[in-house]
Amino acid sequence: MHASRFAAAFAFSFLCAGAACAAGTGYHVIDRISGPDGGWDYVRVDEANNRVLLTHGSSVMAVNLATKAVSSFGPGQRLHDAMPVNGGAEVMVTNGGTSTVVFVNSKTGQPVATVAAGKGPDAAGFDPKTGLAMTMDHQGQITLIDPKAHKVTGVIEVGGDLEAAAADGAGKVFVNVENKNEVVAVDIMKKSVLAHYPLTGCEGPTGLAYDAADKLLIAACSASTDIVDARTGQVVQTLATGRGADGVAYDPKQKLAFVPAGRDGTLSVIKVAGGGKAAIVETVQTQVSARTIAVDERTGRVYLPAAKYQPATGGGRPGIVPGSFEVLVVGK
């Protein structure tokens, strides 16, 4: 996942109307949990250990949700994703700097195994049908890994800059291809590409979620969000969401999708109704830079890393204001 998603894109589509928007959801920033300075990428909720995990520069930051205590483990280079595996007993960390995946013991934080994985593994994912984990990279490869055996079992050549993936639970996985503005469907067991779904009204798709009840994909783009029929690949709706999304989270219990906008500092809350219709029911003020996201389905709370930035100098990236990194907690 890239460090920023600030490219503008045209937003097409209907916004929620009248009563739906007026009702809202009650979501707002309810807490801020400070952490050490540094860049970040994906964030996940580790339900088995009641914590939030996020890759934070050269280590994984863990937030205990009961105590709000912050700790870190798993030093590496250009870490991107930290995904709980094996029932929460281990964490699979994608290490872009060394093109490896490191499995870490969840209790001790100590490395258990290191596996070579593609060309700069970025996002991670899991297919419950086969029990295989996967990594996506920006060289167009999905690397399949047996998380119990800590072994690569195959590679699927997709092509393009791969971002987040979502599984349908029946052996099919969908992955966003950022530089081609498409979703690609793959068969994990056959290790083959099934179809390419063009994303109309979308520029630079990053986050991807799957709504199993409605067989819908929710693809977050630079300034819009596409709702896609996962069976046909047809874009059934495009919603105008904020600029700079780098993720999406979906809560099946509430049938709500959450799309962060790192450039605008907002969070679009999308209600998926019967028949696959979706509408933005709330736009929550968060913070500029809050671009990646995870939802805790147990509580409905949403977690977004963020920091304040200094003005850029000399054409380089702006630096983080010391002491400003925190995890925003959005809830009711």
Q: What is the pLDDT of residue 323?
A: 95
Q: Give the pLDDT confidence score for residue 43 in this predicted structure.
A: 98
Alpha-carbon span 123 to 86, nearest angstrom: 18
Could you please state the CATH topology (level 3) that the domain comprising 18-310+319-331 is classified under.
Answer: Methylamine Dehydrogenase; Chain H (2.130.10)
At residue 11, the pLDDT reads: 31
* Residue tagged 């977004």 (tokens): 304
Per-residue model confidence as pLDDT tens for the chain (332 residues): 554 343 333 233 333 333 334 457 899 999 999 999 999 999 999 999 999 999 998 999 999 999 999 999 987 889 999 999 999 999 999 999 999 999 999 999 999 999 999 889 999 999 999 999 999 999 999 999 999 999 999 999 999 999 999 999 999 999 999 999 999 999 999 999 999 999 998 999 999 999 999 999 999 999 999 999 999 999 999 999 999 999 999 999 999 999 999 999 999 999 998 777 899 999 999 999 999 999 999 999 999 999 999 887 777 778 899 999 999 999 99
Q: Are strands 132-137 and 121-127 parallel, antiparallel or unpaired?
A: antiparallel
pTM of the predicted model, to two decimals? Answer: 0.91
Q: What is the pLDDT of residue 17?
A: 36
Domain boundaries, the chain: 18-310+319-331
Q: How deeply is 25 buried, as exposed, middle or buried, from its count of CB atoms within 10 A (0-12, 13-18, 19+)? A: middle
Write the CA distances from 108 to 58, 61, 73, 92, integer angstroms. 18, 14, 9, 14
Listed residue (179, 220, 182, 213) closest to 198, CA to CA:
182
